[in-house]
Amino acid sequence: MSSIGQILNTAKEALLAHQVAIGVTGTNVANVSTPGYSRQRAVIEAKGTMESIENDVQIGVEVTQVQRLFDQFIEARINDQSSLLSYSETRQDALSQIEAIFNESQQDGLSSVMDRFWKAWDDLSFNPTGEVERFAVVSAAENLATTLREYSNQLTDVQDSMNSRLSDNITQLNSYLADIADTTGKIIQVQSGGGNTNDLMDKRSELLKKVSETLNIQYMQRSDGSLDIFMSNGKALVQGDRYWALEAVQNTATGFYDVAFEEDNTEILNDAIAGGRLGACLDVRDTDATDYLGQLNTLAAAIADEVNAQHIEGFDRNGNVGGLFFDDVTEAKNMAVSSAILADLSLIAASATVNGDGDNAQAMSGLRDALTMRGDTIPFSSYLNSLIGQIGEDVAAANRSYGQRNAVMNTLIGQKEQVSGVSIDEEMVNLVRFQMGYSAAGKMITASQEMIDTLLGLVD
Amino acid sequence: MVMRLTENLKFNSTTNNIYLSQSKYAELMEQISTQKRINKPSDDPVGTRAVLDYRKTQASVEQYRRNVDASKGWLNMTETKLANIRDLLVQMRETAITQATATATAETRATAAETVDLLTQEIYTLANSQYNGRYLFAGSKTETEPFSTTARTSTSIGTAEAASGNTFDGTIAAGGTYTGTVNKTYVVKVTTGGALGTAVCDISADGGRTWGVTGQTIPAGGTITLGDGVTLTFTDSGTNRLAADDIFYADALTTGYFNGDGEEISVNVGEGVSFAYNLSGEDIFTNGGSGTTDIFRTLHGLKAALQNNELAGIQSALDGLEEASNSVNLHVSKAGSKQNRLEVTDSNLVDLDYQVTQLRSNTEDADVAKVITEFSQRETALKAAYQIAATIGNISILSFMR
């Protein structure tokens, strides 16, 4: 048998519990568009019993906790995938820039400039003494040299931009790590005091995702609320409320940044970074662009070598042995027509004899098809074309992997949303439910009051 | 389990769908506007490589055809000039035949000598013709007038020349007596510099194209033998000695009227295919090298015989004229057959160009009908995506609650 006082008390608890539940629903609705927000749920439990003569009677209700609906396994997969996705995105973006450099569909692509260079020699072979033809050879050669230099500069620009992105990302990463350590500190504190850490946890999950986007990490959550983050080589980035910042250290040999810990910047961590934006910056800068640049340099050096070798076989307008036509270069960025030729067109060695026959110019134009590259198996043009093909393949592969990873990411986000996302429809239904509960509890109070009135009426 | 469809999920999937439709739409739009399937290497890396190879082939073919055209021009001119010479030789032969008869007198022969002289001058003009400023019949010495009007009665060795870029500032002199049978240009290239006695050189007898003698040490006396009796003597000034790549050259000429040489000059008309487009005056007009008859000697001989009223001389000139006609005829037909070869080459190049254009088009060009069909499909899909985006927020439980 419960007393009216107990009924009133129960009604009060019911009112409060539903008020909290409506409040939580309100929070959910308010955060429907907040990134990283995990929906919450008021856990309402029956509270206590009172021993009566016949049986135990429920005497109340309370909100035991406000639960954060969150699946840490989906979260872990999303974080892994974030590393892969942001790696692909960054690499795809950079490679597309490189592809644009080598877009040969335009009129002045390297291959057409090369063609015009050989053509100019052909024309010269027909008129080895012609000033116009000599001028045409030099201007085509300068065009070729300029184009090679430009391609090289643009590739270097991409490397430089990757390099500064690397440094920017490290700065950003350090602020994420600091925030995570700070948030963890608060979580530990709040949790030990028995408080609600839901918002802090959401905030930290968002930060963790951003760290994953920056580089590939491993992490584990501990029962005291701390989150330990490690690099792939096992070095800790965050432990409890401590963190270790990274630093972009200038490598004196390459001029580019290396990644190291701020505390000990002698140990280079580049090899431990395989994913995320940092991984992409390093890969594009040190692998992709370096490879393309290397091939461009090989091509430029070979053109300079072969042309020079043929040029010194011939005789110039004055019967002298031909000198260097291009500067002797090993890198495309230095490609240039020799200053002596630029100053005096008569130094072009167009003839195979001292008599002005034009046959050396003919031999020069034959270099177009001569097997000069890859151990004398393919001509210059094929070498260039296969470089362009390779870049195209790399870009296509990067596009594909981005597409696939994006699709996986979307699925994972869908799964996460199913658990943690806010559905307005659901919240509205809950609202109706809690509102009904609240009204019913109110009714209980009215009923109790009437009961008391009745009792008091009996006394009168 | 019932799926919880959350608000974020609805909006995310809508925007994703729009992005996907848009990007495919833009890609198709690019294909339609450029009419090409491959617009950047990553569209089809293998195809790109093929297209670039085809493009290079097309550019080469274009240049080869240009070279073929220029060679045809040269040969056409060669043929015309030789045909004119042939006609003049026929006239001359008629004159000679008339004057070889018993009815001819000293006077008629003297008049005929005038005619022969005029015709000879014309032949000189023809044999010294130029094409684009280059002498047709001078072999590789295209800047030297190939035939002179007076004969060298003995072989001659030209003045030794030093190339302008040489370090050596001493003097050089060519000497000896040339014993060769064709005109040559001797070239000495210093390979190791130094004082006389230590300097080493290579010697070429064909203008520097090939080096017949290599590693020849220049003796302290300074005289080296270039070949066929020609010597070259260096006199050191003592200051700027011989240095590597110093070039010295001297022409060695046989007797007769020809100043050119018998070298071929060629042009590329295909991948690794070189085509010699000149006919050397040596072969046509002289008896040196593979030439058979000294035409100008015959002509000068005929004139002299007519002036001197020598029947025997006229008769022997008749034989010479016949040989001359044969030689010129032979070379007219050679010029013709060379042009035929060029025709064949050209038509092969045209075929190749056509095939490569086809291949390139197959690889590179968009199938417009197909692309446009796909484009309108995509357009429908995109419209649908927009429609969904516009209606997505319209319906929820809120519409039914008051």
Question: Each residue of A304-359: pLDDT tens digit?
Answer: 999 999 999 999 988 888 999 999 999 999 999 999 999 999 999 999 988 888 89
Which residue, among A91, A111, A123, A357, would best test binding to B if mutated, counting the most B CBs under 10 Å from its CB?
Answer: A357
Dihedral sign, Cα of residue B390, residue B395, residue B396, residue B398: positive
| Contact flag A126-B132 (C-beta cutoff 8 Å) | yes
Residues in chain B with CB shorter than 8 Å from the CB of A319 are 161, 163-164, 247, 249
Other CB atoms within 10 Å distance of the CB of residue A266: 7
Beta-carbon contacts of A275 under 8 Å, excluding residues fewer than 6 positions away, are A83, A84, A86, A87, A215, A216
pLDDT at site A54: 64
Is B67's CB within 8 Å of A100's CB? no
pLDDT at A1: 47
Q: Which residue does chain A place closest to B277, by CA atoms?
A: A126
Q: Which residues in chain A are closer than 8 Å to B70, comparing Cβ atoms?
A: 126
The answer to whether B288 touches B183, Cβ cutoff 8 Å, is yes
* Nearest CB partner across the interface for A392, out of B16, B45, B249: B45
Quote the minimal CA–CA distance from A71 to chain B in Å. Answer: 15
Check: CB of residue B288 under 8 Å from CB of residue B258: yes
**pLDDT given for residue A239 in this prediction:** 94
Q: What is the pTM of this model?
A: 0.86
Give me the total of CB pairs closer than 8 Å, taking one residue from chain A and one from chain B: 218
Chain A residues touching residue B249 (CB < 8 angstroms): 319, 354
Contacts of B144 (CB under 8 A, 6+ apart): A355, B135, B138, B259, B260
* Model pLDDT, residue B402: 67
Q: Answer yes or no: are the C-beta atoms of A336 and A329 closer than 8 Å.
A: yes
Q: Which residues contact B70 (CB under 8 A, 6 or more apart)?
A: A126, B267
Task: Decide: helix, strand or coil at residue B401.
Answer: coil
What residues contact residue B175 under an 8 Å CB cut-off, 6+ apart? B157, B223, B230, B231, B232, B233
Q: Which residues of B touch A384 (CB under 8 A)?
A: 52
Identify the H or E element spanning A458.
Answer: helix A424-459
Q: What is the mean pLDDT of residues B66-94?
A: 94
Nearest to A423 among B6, B45, B56 (CB): B6
Query: How much is the pLDDT for B320?
Result: 92
Please state the rounded mean pLDDT for residues B333-357: 94
Radius of gyration of chain A (CA): 37
DSSP label at residue B365:
B
Q: Please answer yes or no on whether B397 and A429 come within 8 Å at the CB atom.
A: yes
| CA of B44 vs chain A CAs: smallest distance (Å) | 7
Average of per-residue pLDDT across B93-101: 90
A112 contact residues in B (CB cutoff 8 A): 55, 59
Q: Give the chain B residue whose CA is nearest to the CA of A100.
A: B40
Angstrom distance (rounded) from CA A188 to CA A194: 10
Residue ranges in chain A modelled with pLDDT below 50: 1
Cα(B146)–Cα(B127) distance, rounded to whole angstroms?
8
Q: Which of A103, A128, A366 sits opposite B40 (nearest CB)?
A: A103
In angstroms, the Cα distances linking A405 to A212, A325, B206, B385 are: 14, 50, 69, 22
Q: Do B70 and A126 touch (CB under 8 A)?
A: yes
Among A278, A314, A275, which Cα is nearest to A401's? A275
Task: Show Cβ contacts of residue A266 under 8 Å, excluding neighbours closer than 6 positions.
Answer: A260
**Tens-place pLDDT, residues B158-196:** 888 888 888 898 899 998 999 988 999 999 999 999 888
Measure in Å the smallest separation between the Cα of B376 and chain A Cα atoms: 24
Taking an 8 Å cut-off on Cβ atoms, the answer to whether B266 and A359 are in contact is yes
Q: What is the overall mean pLDDT for chain B?
A: 90
Distance from CA of A421 to the nearest CA of B (A): 6
Tens digit of each residue's pLDDT (9 = 90 or more) over B38-54: 888 999 999 999 998 89
